[in-house]
Amino acid sequence: MTMSQANLEHLLSRRVLDMDASGIRRAFELGARLENPINLSIGQPHYPVPQVMKDAAIKAIRDDCNGYSLSGGIDALHEVVRGHLKHDLGWSTEDPEIGVIVTSGTSGALLLSAMALVDPGDEIIIPDPWFVIYPQLGPLTGARIVTCDTYPDFRMTAERIEPLITDRTKFILINSPGNPTGVVLDEGEMRDVAALCRDRGVQLVSDEIYDEFVFPESARPDGSCPSPGRHDQGTLVIRGFGKTYGCTGWRLGYAAGPNWLVDQMRKLQQFTFVCAPTPLQWGVVPAFDHDNSHQIEAYARRRDRVVEVLSPHTDVVVPGGAFYAFFEVPASLGIDASAFVERAVERRVLLVAGGVFSSRDTHVRLSFAVGEEILEEGLQAIAELLQGR
């Protein structure tokens, strides 16, 4: 027996009915029907997990570290995370006002932070373009999502944010290096956003999942990624291991910041995710000692090639980090990004239309986290499409 549409809508929650997964689903559907696709849609590194991390995870499994951990994560991982934050952000490892929680991916951290901060009717300010989970934090929590238009340069600055703040604003979510744009806010922009949130009494949440993927011209003098956490320890900094070390399927991230917030996230995790996967937590303990600079250099070269090939034919904001380019579909073609992606499929090239990440469907996301030969073949096809060929 099948339910009628009316009965289904009666049974299903408003929460899921208000969520639209069609954009991402469409990309997968297009890929499924292609033979030998040139896949420039994937949002994960193409290199393998470092052997030292594989060995640590396998050892944990063999040593029977397979039960629950504490909801906030194992002590050994807390210790190395705090040490890393001291080195990178200057945060004290002993400060009781700074909390750390290990989460089921950075998406888990984002959901827990939103659940801890907002009630129905409260407001969350997010960038446009956005990472796909950001607008869904509205239906998931009952909050109202307020988008900050960052076109054409994709920089979510204090000047753009300030007019959007109201007495219902609970938190502001920034993402740098950004997905889908690859844009990196500079140190001054980070300082200004942190000061704005502090002055207005609004929580700042900084999604820094790509913090290790910052290219030299966008990095600080020491090579690290700009972060508002250096300017305000009240920032909730969210980072992860999946993108940096190629272990996206391990579902491991962490959040660090004011303990009054992290403590509530820990409580929520106890009754939802319970804990992040225990043996894989042991697997990432040695992660911060692994040098992946050669991989970042390789992605920088790929970035340069993307800009070189596409910029003569369209506007491409040069990505300062991550492994994406977000290029505009020329108006002269007379089509939107979704139609451009359909044309690319005819060339076996998989991309993601900008409407998946934005209120506008004018741009296309390309991932250059692929082998050089695959990237080159895809770029030549895209360049021809941009010229209307």
The DSSP code sequence of 51-90 is HHHHHHHHHHHHTT--S---TT--HHHHHHHHHHHHHHH-
The CATH number that domain 51-289 falls under is 3.40.640.10
Which among 247, 158, 155 has a CA at the least distance from the CA of 195?
158
Judged against a pLDDT cut of 90, whether residue 287 lies above it is answered with: yes
Say what the pLDDT of residue 19 is: 73
Judged against a pLDDT cut of 80, whether residue 8 lies above it is answered with: no
The residue-averaged pLDDT of 373-386 equals 96
The CATH number that domain 9-48+292-386 falls under is 3.90.1150.10
Is the Cβ–Cβ distance between 297 and 314 less than 8 Å? no
Domain boundaries along the sequence of the chain: 9-48+292-386, 51-289
Q: What is the H or E stretch that residue 376 is in?
A: helix 372-386
Judged against a pLDDT cut of 60, whether residue 22 lies above it is answered with: no
pLDDT-derived band of residue 21, with 50, 70 and 90 as boundaries? low
| Out of 40-44, 47-51, 216-220, 351-355, least confident range | 40-44
> Tokens 């939107």, residue?
336
Tell me: the pLDDT tens digits for 104-113? 999 999 999 9
| Out of 12-21, 71-80, 349-358, least confident range | 12-21
Q: What average pLDDT does the chain have?
A: 93
Q: Which residues is 70 bridged to in the sheet? A: none
Which among 342, 310, 346, 344 has a CA at the least distance from the CA of 328?
310
Tell me: the pLDDT tens digits for 107-162? 999 999 999 999 999 999 999 999 999 999 999 999 999 999 999 999 999 999 99
pLDDT-derived band of residue 170, with 50, 70 and 90 as boundaries? very high
The residue-averaged pLDDT of 283-307 equals 94
Percent of the chain, pLDDT > 70? Answer: 95
Say what the pLDDT of residue 1 is: 45
Judged against a pLDDT cut of 90, whether residue 47 lies above it is answered with: no
Say what the pLDDT of residue 36 is: 84
Domains 9-48+292-386 and 51-289 share a fold: no
Q: Pairing state of beta strands 253-258 and 236-240?
A: antiparallel
pLDDT-derived band of residue 15, with 50, 70 and 90 as boundaries? confident
The residue-averaged pLDDT of 188-200 equals 97
